[in-house]
Structure 1
Amino acid sequence: MNTTFLFRDRELHLIRYPAQSQHVSLQAWDSADELLIDYIMESTEPERLHNMLILNDEFGALGCWFADLTPSWVSDSWIAHRSLHDNLCANHYEVEVCDNKLVQQPVKTNTSINPLPDSPNIVLIKIPRTLNLLEHQLIELMKVATPETKIVAAGKVKSITRNVLQLFEKYVGHPTTSLAKKKSRLVFASPTQAKLHKPLTSPFPIVWQHRLYTGLNITLSNHANVFSSQSIDIGARIMLEHMQVEETDHLIDLGCGNGVLGLNALALMPGIRVCFIDESYMALASAEQNVRDNFPAQLPNCQFIASNCLEEVVNSAGAPTVTKIVCNPPFHQQNSITDHIAWQMFQDSKRVLKKGGQLSVVGNRHLDYHSKLKRIFGGVKLVASNQKFVILRAVKR
């Protein structure tokens, strides 16, 4: 496991949060980070490095490298925020956090839900996996940019697609690109006067309708970084069909996305308590808006928690009260395929469930969640299946 970032005669210790789950073949930085740092250090006047804005820094490598410049730093990911915090501490920075656990010194962090800081001199963007998120960020950026703002984006060559460049062209100005190096490339753009003075109408959040199996029509609002933005994904559909809840349940919608599984629980049993948990702030904002729009009277019975899996619940005081957990585990972290998220979700679920509590999981057949759940819970039941997906249920004994 490589946690030592040696670059330009400087050494940083960097981990991917949580450190104990970091795969031996993965590291907290990539060649796009190196290319971006090289360009900034060699081609940017020192006075322009102040009032820097960093977007989508996956594990805090850029935030740590430029920490002495007190940059603004924005991410939609709770895991990215935790990575930045731990990496700043590991590299001997005095870290201050605010009440919501976001770093305020030496890097001033914020979530993707809040407005961007005014008049940045230079903006560093790591190209996100989701084009909708990049579009949202460029729209928001043009609200605060000036003619002097310089935008430098970085990503793997395969991620800098024609669609990515078209978004820069549409919202910022004509982009140019660097030569590829170590399979990464830079994108350069500066706001044009025409773009700065053009009123922008954001397509986000995307709002659409869905009919639950109860027959109830609900309105769903999806912020830019929420998976399956205009329809219910296939895994969630099969889970919705087979959900069973009781009025006394305390249910967690784990990895909630727009919260449709929790919303279905509220539709089935209005007296239920539901906790929506995700590592995406946009997902939580979407879920909260969807409860507010469809079940406003039940909002006091709901919680919305940013967390890596169930860490924030596991670390809270008190005996377990959770009776049911439903989840559709992701098998990607940023651009890496990994099963450690599912492992942690299952292990955390066993810790927070009451005795007799149930974990229901939907996933692709090939992911072999059956064997993982059997190892952790001692047994597992097949609830439903089709050609692509299975629903499995495990009970805490």
Structure 2
Amino acid sequence: MAGFSFGDLSRYPDVEAENLFAADAADRLILDEAAGELAGCGSNDVVIIGDRYGALTLGAADLLDDGGTVRVHQDSITGELALDHNASSLAPKARYAHHGLDRGLLAGARVVLLQLPRSLEALEQIADAVARWAADDVVLFAGGLTKHMTLAMNDVLRRYFGSVKAGLGRQKARVLTARDVRRPQSEPGIPMRQFHEDLGLWVCAAPGAFAGTKVDIGTRFLLEHLPELETSTGSAVDLGCGTGVIAARLATLLPGLEVAAVDQSAAAVESAAATAAANGLADRIRTIRDDAMASFPDASVDLMACNPPFHVGASVHAGAALKLFDAAARVLRPGGELLVVFNSHLRYRSRLNSIVGPTQQLGRNRKFTVTRSIRR
């Protein structure tokens, strides 16, 4: 990479810490394995999927002979923003374009670089899209850290490619190279869905959405406490909405609310929109892909509910939750309510007291705590 190293890359606006990095050994190995193919590529031949903070995109752009435009799909909007930030500061001449996971991303692509997702369902969706829309001679370089890779990933790729070969490992990373595309004969899949009798709700999930069509136990515990909310009219946000279960329950129980389901993940927002539609709530719930409500004005929302992540990527870290608490404090109106569920050992109540406002415990079981904070 000319002019900068991987160590120069920033995670901004995502959480930054000494033990969180913007690139890893898999990024380096993917680019090294693909270098020969990239050198022969021209404009619009190259697609990047799953780039976290720009390492693959900017590295690939640097290797192209004609400086062609790289097409990029990132599930996380913070990944998109980080790529833009890194490009502007480190590689202002790099040419790339953001896309959804669709024909526009992959049409005619000859080389695809992929940071392997953790979910086999998400990998299936990506492999299907590459096989469906890329060029006949497409080569897929799919890499990850070895500890997160499984043999089942090879099996998924073999359904869409005649040749799948694992390269030599390096610095605990490995790359699978897939060639000889097999075109899918059926239409693309649609979000899965499951009806939950106890909640009276359909839950829909696009590949890669957290918990899939299940309702995780933390969310279930939070839902038990929705009747204790004091706010019944005005605006509400399901912050970090995932599949939109909390948003759907709020809209069902409190018809006086205008509900928004907000998440940084494209898969989550797609899932939440499908959940709203499946339950006849599409006209009551807006779905918004956003980085911690960055597009929301200050003091503009009456009620929020949140089941925050306890990890950043594959690392256990409180930073993501604290970022959401800061966002809630900014966007809630004075006197507005924030309902949060969290693993009890994380002891977030004191943080919520200081960041948002007076916080009381509504419930606690062997694993989770639910609190209500009132914005100062």
Whether TM exceeds 0.5 here: the answer is yes
Q: Which residue of 2 aligns with 1:309?
A: 292
Superposed CA deviations along residues 185-207 of structure 1, whole A, max 9, x for unmatched, are 11011134xx22x5145554111
Match of 1:128 among 117, 120, 127: 117
1:49-64 aligned within 5 A = 50=43, 51-64=45-58
Amino acid at match of 2:207: A
> Is the CA contact 1:113–1:281 (under 8 Å) kept in the aligned structure 2?
no
Question: 2:60 aligned with 1:81, yes or no?
Answer: no
1:118–1:144 CA contact under 8 A, matched in 2: yes
Q: Deviations over 1:145-201 (max 9, x none)?
A: 333111111111112211111111122233111111111011011134xx22x5145
Are 1:35 and 2:29 counterparts?
Answer: yes
Which letter maps to 2:252?
Answer: A
Q: Which amino acid aligns with 2:222?
A: M
In the TM superposition, what is the alpha-carbon distance from 1:248 to its structure 2 partner? 1.3
By how many angstroms is 1:45 displaced? 6.2
Amino acid in the other structure paired with 2:159: K
Gaps of 5+ in 1: 1-6, 95-104
Distance 2:245 2:102 in 1: 20
The corresponding residue for 1:268 is 253
Tell me the amino acid that sits aligned with residue 231 of structure 1: K
Residue 17 of structure 1 corresponds to which residue in structure 2? Answer: 12
Distance 1:368 1:393, change over 3 A: same
Deviations 1:233-257 (A, max 9, x none): 1011111111135441311100001
1:381–1:394 Cα contact (<8 Å) kept:
yes
Among 204, 209, 220, the residue aligned to 1:221: 204
Structure 1 ranges of 4+ moved more than 6 A: none
* Residue 167 of structure 1: aligned partner: 156
What does residue 154 of structure 1 align with? 143
Secondary structure at 1:358 match in 2: strand
- Equivalent pair of 1:208/1:219 in contact (CA under 8 Å): yes
| Aligned residue number for residue 217 of structure 2 | 234
* Deviation of the 1:359 alpha carbon: 0.9
Please give the alpha-carbon distance, in whole angstroms, between the structure 2 residues aligned to 1:71 and 1:63.
7
Structure 1's 191 and 371: CA in aligned 2 closer, same or farther, altered over 3 A? farther
Change (3 A) 1:131 1:240: same
Indicate whether 1:205 and 2:191 are aligned: yes
Kindly provide the amino acid, as one letter, of the partner of residue 312 in structure 1: S
Deviations 1:69-90 (A, max 9, x none): 3111111110111111111111
Distance 2:237 2:363 in 1: 20
Question: Which of 277, 286, 289 is residue 271 of structure 2 equivalent to?
Answer: 286
- Residue in 2 aligned with 1:65? 59
Cα separation, partners in 2 of 1:55 and 1:343, compared to 1, 3 Å? same
The aligned runs of 1:247-262 (5 Å cut-off) are 247-262=232-247
Establish whether residue 332 from structure 1 lines up as the match of residue 342 from structure 2.
no
- The reply to whether residue 354 of structure 1 matches residue 333 of structure 2 is yes
Secondary structure of residue in 1 paired with 2:163: coil
CA distance, structure 2, for counterparts of residue 45 and residue 305 of structure 1: 35
Structure 1: distance between partners of 2:339 and 2:4? 47
The answer to whether 1:44 aligns with 2:37 is yes
3-state SS in 2 of match to 1:312: coil
Q: Deviations over 1:324-376 (max 9, x none)?
A: 11001112222222211111111111111111111111111122212321232
1:49–1:183 CA distance, 2 compared to 1 (3 A): farther
Deviation of 1:106 after TM superposition, in Å, equals 1.9
| Correspondence for 1:137 among 126, 145, 152 | 126
Distance 2:327 2:134 in 1: 43
SS in 1 for 2:259: strand
Q: Cα–Cα, structure 1 residues 23 and 304, in superposed 2: closer, same or farther, change >3 Å?
A: same
Out of 164, 173, 176, the residue aligned to residue 184 of structure 1 is: 173
Residues paired across the two proteins, number? 367
Distance of 1:274 and 1:212 partners within structure 2: 22
1: distance between equivalents of 2:103 and 2:311? 25
Aligned partner of 1:106 among 62, 87, 95: 95
1:35–1:184 CA contact under 8 A, matched in 2: yes
Report the Cα distance in structure 2 between the residues aligned to 1:45 and 1:308, rounded to whole angstroms. Answer: 32
Stretch deviating more after TM superposition (10-19 or 29-38) = 10-19
1:158 maps to a residue whose letter is K
Counterpart CA distance in 1 for 2:211 and 2:273 is 17
One-letter amino acid matched to 1:16: R
The root-mean-square deviation of aligned C-alpha atoms, in Å, is 2.2
Aligned to 1:91: 90
Checking the alignment, whether the CA contact within 8 Å between 2:339 and 2:371 is kept in structure 1 is yes
Deviation of the 1:128 alpha carbon: 1.2
Measured after TM superposition, the shift of residue 211 of structure 1 is 3.0
TM score, norm. by length of structure 2: 0.91
Share of identical aligned residues, percent? 28
Q: Which amino acid aligns with 2:322?
A: W
